[in-house]
Amino acid sequence: MAKLAVLILFALLGAAAPAQAGYNGYPSEAPVSMPPAASPEGSPQTYPGVAPVPCPPSSTPASASPPSPAPPSPAPRLRFGFYKKSCPSAEYIVREAVRNATRVNPGIGAGLIRMAFHDCFVQGCDGSVLLDPTAANPRPEKLGPPNFPSLRGFEVIDAAKAALEEACPGKVSCADVIQFAARDASFFLSKGGVNYPLAGGRFDGRVSFENETLAFLPPPFFNLSQLIDSFKVKGLNVDDLVVLSGSHTIGRSHCSSFSDRISTPPSDINPGLATVLKRQCPANPNFTNDPTVVQDIVTPNRLDNRYYKNVLNRNVLFNSDASLLTSRQTARKVVENAFIRGRWERKFAKAMVKMSLIEVKTAADGEIRTKSCRVVN
């Protein structure tokens, strides 16, 4: 108890000066009035509570200063029960595909949650991460260093899309399948603790570039200021950053993603964890010798708030995880998510919904892929 009290006191008072205090008032959920746009089905309806996020310039790297907020682009008004008429079993079909996969391997569920994040941060939530290489585009997103070879769950999306095309051809977008699958994986991995309704109506993108993964997906070595900037570019705030980082309570990571933290002293990682990791990881991991380890040594297959206790105990892999204790603001959020029962689960659900609205495509710049999620029509 004494150790816990010290940790809480440290986090609340902050051992370091507050970082990026200017972001404290960043507006996270002010409603944005979106003009009506064509929708793949039915009349557009306002999605309550969270505003669609406008698309920033695609050339802005994650490490650069975020651009000034731009006027929102026209986007479809997503709505609950979007496929109620055209494909009533759509969400059930996706959920069953996720259920079947996570029963066999819970790690696939972690991959699906990560896939939703990686899809939305590059070209928006448009299924562009699913596109395979072609002669015309040999280097799509899925081959970018943040995705290949670590991103997984593609076979679950394939299975869901095949079943959907059989039940109701040409109706359900791959972009929606990704977001539904991440929602369902969160539900199963949290034993029902994370459960939220999700609107549908996204269009699939036709563009996918490997180099944009490096520009927009924050790497594990980012410091807090860089992380805040990369999230702000996508319309997400500091609280979203802390809450979505909690997904590191599940899944695995390649040793190369944190090898510097266990091989180059001094490091703030728990010495006991560093010793364990050194036994599992080669001294110099490379493409042919880069094992994976669990991100949460306590509850590796459970989506829960254990991550935040691991942060406080310095039992986390990435510099980006450890950086959450470098400002008073984020350290306080870590403590709240760690010790207020049910708080993180509720906030995670809300943040996942907010993320699912990033740069949603319209009929003018999207489509509904019909044959496969891996190729454009």
Pair type for strands 292-294 and 252-254: antiparallel
Beta bridge partners of 252: 294
118 is catalytic: yes
**Exposed e or buried b per residue across 153-189, where buried means at least 16 C-beta atoms within 10 angstroms of its C-beta:** bbebbbbbbebbbeebebbbbbbbbbbbbbbbbbbbb
Question: Rounded to 5 degrees, what angle do the CA atoms 41, 45, 46 make?
Answer: 140
User: For residue 59, how many other CB atoms are within 10 A of its CB?
Assistant: 9
Please name which of 185, 228, 220 lies closest in space to residue 295, comparing C-alpha atoms.
220
Instruction: Concatenate the DSSP letters of all residues of 70-97 into one string.
Output: PPPPP----BTTTTTTT-TTHHHHHHHH
Distance CA 94, CA 331 (A): 37
Q: Which of 77, 79, 114, 118 is catalytic?
A: 118
Tokens 């039940």 label which residue? 167
Helix axes 2-13, 328-339, angle to 10 degrees: 140
Active site residues: 118
